[in-house]
Amino acid sequence: MRDFKQRKSKIELDVACKRVTPKTWSIYSTASLVIKIKRDRKPNYLHDTLQETIYTTRRQPDLAKFYDNWRGKIGKHRLCNRLTTMNDLPAWLDKTMTDDTIRIFLKEHLNFSFLVK
């Protein structure tokens, strides 16, 4: 993308060059790891940690939500307290998801569908 006079905004350049922001990439990579940990139940200690703060309802068993149980004012040092951004995703507890379908699913639902190929 040749924009030497910088007439485009950063967001327009990100879309044109198919780039994502560091925050969006962080959410994407964390969500991918969480889905794989939940699907494979490995490693055990992380799976158990996720089980402590995840809840599902009887009517929507595939729709899992995370809640933040941190009581302090600063610092979210535990993994499970940083996962409330996953609450915007639709049903992701499908056990038949492969690594490729997880990647496509997250790209479609994390507001950078322009990367889906």
List, for residues 49-87, the tens digit of each pLDDT value: 888 878 887 888 888 888 776 777 665 666 666 788 888
Q: Which residues fall within 8 angstroms of residue 45, CB to CB, at 6 or more apart?
A: none
Q: Is 65 left (phi over 0), alpha (psi -120 to 50) or beta?
A: beta
Quick check: helix, strand or coil at residue 57?
A: coil
How would residue 117 be classed by pLDDT, with cut points 50, 70 and 90?
Answer: very low
Domain that holds residue 93: 10-115
Two tokens, residue 80: 């499970």
The number of folded domains in the chain is 1
Two tokens, residue 82: 């940083």
Supply the pLDDT for residue 51. 83
Q: Which residues fall within 8 angstroms of residue 37, CB to CB, at 6 or more apart?
A: 43, 46, 47, 50
Query: What percent of the chain has pLDDT above 70?
Result: 79
Neighbours of 25 (CB within 10 A): 13
Determine, yes or no, domain membership for 3.
no
Determine, yes or no, domain membership for 4.
no
Amino acid type, 32: S
**75-100 average pLDDT score:** 79
Which pTM was predicted?
A: 0.73
Determine, yes or no, domain membership for 29.
yes
Determine, yes or no, domain membership for 2.
no
